């Protein structure tokens, strides 16, 4: 039947005024309804949930999750001019987690839990959401350091959940 359909279709293409369209229509009616187009595979989770910091303030401009080698796992950073500085900052932060850990250990301070930094134009807070990953939160200077620590705690919780979900 497929060959007949193909032949009639070819004939119709050669002569659009031909009455073969009637035969073709009859054949297709007997063939039954066309199969449903293949539905796209459902995503493992909605796009919003797939993002590390979905729903958190500054998720695309002031939150960054990195692996120990400085590779970006999620989030993004923009400078005050709106330029994307994600990769540059991530590269400079490679190894910071290990160095902070070594410093704390050398001083007998136990596990490091955070690193708050005050710059001329803004504040930053680093925290290790898991043993090896590093989370950076950056905000303008108007945001007090204490509030930044709270934002960092929430973001760290989201990052831990996301990292666990990634396996």
Partner 1 sequence: MTTAPAEYGRVLDLVTRVHGVRGAMLVAGDDGLVVAEQLMEGIKGPAVAALAASLATRLRRALEAAGVGAGQFWHLQAEQGALLVVTAASGVLVVAVAEPDVNVGLVRLELLRAAEAVG
Return residues touching partner 1 (CB under 8 A): 77, 79-81, 83, 85, 88-89, 92-93, 95-96, 99-100, 102-104, 106-124, 136, 138
> Comparing C-alpha atoms, which of 59, 88, 92, 93 is closest to residue 76?
59
Q: How far is the CB of 53 from partner 1 (least distance, A)?
A: 16
- Which CB atom, from 43 or from 142, has the smaller least distance to partner 1? 142
Task: Write down the least CB distance from residue 119 to partner 1, Å.
Answer: 3
- Least separation in angstroms between CB 50 and partner 1: 25
- Distance between CA atoms of residues 73 and 95, nearest Å: 15
Which C-beta is closer to partner 1: that of 49 or that of 99? 99
What's 36's DSSP letter? P
Shortest CB 137 distance to partner 1, Å: 11
- Decide whether 6 or 105 has the Cβ nearer to partner 1: 105
Least Cα distance to 117 among 91, 86, 89, 157 occurs for: 89
Does residue 2 sit in helix, strand or coil? helix
| 3-class DSSP state of 159 | helix
């Amino acid at each position: 039947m497929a060959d007949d359909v193909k032949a009639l279709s070819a004939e119709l293409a050669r002569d659009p005024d031909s009455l073969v369209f009637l035969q073709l229509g009859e054949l297709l009616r007997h063939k039954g309804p066309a199969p449903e187009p293949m539905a796209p595979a459902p995503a493992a989770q909605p796009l919003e949930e797939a993002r590390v910091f979905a729903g958190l303030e500054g998720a695309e401009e002031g939150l960054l999750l990195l692996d120990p080698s400085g590779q970006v796992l999620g989030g993004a950073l923009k400078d005050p001019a709106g330029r994307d500085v994600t990769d540059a900052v991530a590269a400079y932060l490679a190894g910071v987690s290990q160095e902070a850990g070594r410093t704390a250990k050398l001083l007998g301070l136990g596990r490091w839990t955070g690193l708050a930094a005050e710059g001329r134009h803004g504040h930053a807070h680093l925290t290790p959401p898991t043993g090896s990953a590093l989370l950076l939160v950056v905000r303008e200077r108007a945001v007090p350091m204490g509030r930044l620590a709270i934002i960092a705690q929430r973001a760290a919780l989201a990052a831990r959940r996301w990292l666990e979900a990634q396996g």
